[in-house]
């Protein structure tokens, strides 16, 4: 496929909310209407999407699925405290530059042979241009890579809330204009703006400036119906009745007063485990043995443990 064909194919896939919902489901991501709408608007307005929601509701997964469905490269940047320009955008290959200068030191003598005076030497050197500040010595990091992709890309900036405020401010130029300025080379503008997802766990409030440049998508925990569809799409071999019971059980757990309620990823993991144990329905013992897949805190497990038989019975109804 040539470039324009790729672009056209992507454009076609993103042409309406319904095609997005369907398309994402072909790669196993069951999207609510709001999620699909967000992607549709993002494509139309060329805006990044800030995805929020508790851990494990499928924020990162959304970006991965979108990339694999659209057939675009996924460029992922994990944020952490202390992340800076050099690791996010670009860096000069300092070591290589230094190595080259060391090796070329002798060559300089040859080049300058026969010149008279400083002026002439300068004149001759100028002919070689900015040898050491060219693309060859430029190490592109995720953000720059995403801008350089000819056919666009899916850029995932993961856990933006872990980064520093300074970094957030630095992202603004890239996210609003899809361009960066490198002093030695000039401004690099994206040929095709990437589809950008930022995810946040709400460790801290994001700045207003950043929020304002993004569309905001909040993914809540799914209702029973949606969760059943998600489980059966993620684990194709699972029995309908088992899915129903599993999901009902998890939904009931979410009503309990827990430190960390199980989210979708935990439901899926649990379903896998239950399937591995060749169970075709839940019973108290099975649940007790596998509860640590769902609940990640000792005190949560302890508080639920006594009520397992009741919950199992209710989930089977």
Partner 1 sequence: MQETLEDFFRALRATDIPVSPAEAIDAHLAVDSVGYSDRTLLKDTLCVALAKSADETHRFDDCFDMFFAREEFKSNNRDAGDSESEAGDGPAPLPEGLPQELQNSELLQMLADGDSEALAQRMEQAARESGATNIRYVTQRGLLVRRILDRMGLRELEAAIRALNQNEENAGAVNAAQKLTQARQDLFQEARQYLDRLYELYARPYGQQLREEFLAETALSAVEMRDFVRMHKLVRKMAKKLATRYNRRRKQTRRGVLDVRRTLRRNMANDGIPFDTVWKQTKIDRPRIVVICDVSRSVAAAARFLLLFLYSLNEVIAKLRAYAFSDHMSEISDILQEKEVEVAIPEILDKIGFRPTDYGQSFADFEEDFGDVIDRKTTVIILGDGRSNHNDPRVDLMRWIHDRAKAVIWLNPEPKTFWGTGDSEMLRYLPFCHVAKVCRTVQDLERIIDDVLKSYIRA
| CB of 102 vs partner 1, minimal distance in Å | 7
Rule CB under 8 A: is residue 98 a binding residue for partner 1?
Answer: yes
Q: List, in sequence order, every beta strand (DSSP E) within 21-137.
A: 49-52, 74-78, 90-92
Rule CB under 8 A: is residue 52 a binding residue for partner 1?
Answer: yes
Which residue lies nearer to partner 1 by CB, 95 or 114?
95
Which residue lies nearer to partner 1 by CB, 59 or 248?
59
Buried b vs exposed e over 268-303: b needs ≥16 C-beta within 10 Å?
Answer: bbbbebbbeeebeebeeebbeebbebbbeeeebeee
Q: Could you say which DSSP state residue 28 is in?
A: T
Cα(71)–Cα(254) distance, integer angstroms: 36
Total number of residues binding partner 1 (CB under 8 A)? 35
Question: 239-245: which pairs have CB atoms within 8 A and are 24 or more residues apart?
Answer: 239/280, 241/280, 241/281, 242/271, 242/274, 242/275, 242/279, 242/280, 242/281, 242/282, 243/271, 245/281, 245/282, 245/315, 245/316
| CB of 55 vs partner 1, minimal distance in Å | 13
Which residue lies nearer to partner 1 by CB, 25 or 32?
32
| CB of 236 vs partner 1, minimal distance in Å | 29
| CB of 202 vs partner 1, minimal distance in Å | 7
Rule CB under 8 A: is residue 40 a binding residue for partner 1?
Answer: yes
Q: Considering only residues 79, 217, 231, 246, which one is a binding residue for partner 1 as defined by CB under 8 A?
A: 217
Interface with partner 1 (CB under 8 A) = 17, 33-34, 37-38, 40-41, 44-45, 47, 49-50, 52-53, 81-82, 84-86, 94-95, 98, 102, 164, 202, 204-205, 208, 211-212, 215-218, 220
């Amino acid at each position: 496929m040539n470039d324009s064909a790729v672009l056209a194919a992507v454009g076609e896939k993103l042409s309406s909310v319904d095609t997005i919902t369907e398309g994402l489901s072909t790669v196993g991501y069951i999207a609510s209407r709001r999620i699909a709408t967000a992607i549709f608007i993002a494509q139309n307005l060329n805006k990044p999407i800030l995805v929020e929601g508790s851990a494990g509701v499928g924020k990162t997964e959304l970006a991965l699925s979108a990339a694999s469905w659209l057939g675009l490269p996924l460029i992922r940047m994990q944020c952490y405290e202390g992340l800076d320009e050099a690791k996010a955008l670009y860096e000069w290959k300092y070591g290589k530059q230094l190595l080259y200068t060391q090796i070329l030191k002798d060559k300089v003598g040859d080049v300058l042979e026969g010149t008279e005076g400083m002026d002439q030497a300068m004149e001759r050197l100028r002919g070689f241009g900015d040898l050491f500040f060219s693309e060859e010595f430029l190490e592109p990091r995720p953000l720059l890579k995403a801008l350089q992709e000819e056919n666009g890309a899916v850029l995932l900036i993961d856990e933006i809330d872990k980064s520093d405020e300074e970094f957030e401010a630095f992202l603004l130029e890239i996210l609003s204009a899809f361009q960066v300025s490198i002093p030695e080379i000039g401004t690099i503008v994206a040929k095709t703006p990437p589809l950008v997802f930022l995810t946040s766990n709400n460790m801290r409030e994001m700045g207003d400036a950043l929020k304002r440049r993004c569309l905001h998508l909040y993914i809540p925990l799914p209702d029973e119906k949606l969760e059943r569809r998600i489980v059966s799409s993620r684990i194709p071999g699972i029995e309908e009745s088992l899915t129903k019971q599993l999901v009902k059980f998890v939904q009931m757990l979410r009503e309990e007063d827990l430190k960390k309620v199980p989210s979708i990823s935990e439901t899926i993991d649990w379903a896998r485990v239950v399937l591995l144990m060749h169970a075709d329905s839940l019973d108290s013992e099975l649940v007790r043995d596998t509860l640590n897949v769902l609940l990640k805190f000792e005190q949560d497990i302890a508080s639920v443990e006594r009520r397992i038989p009741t919950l199992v019975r209710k989930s089977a109804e």
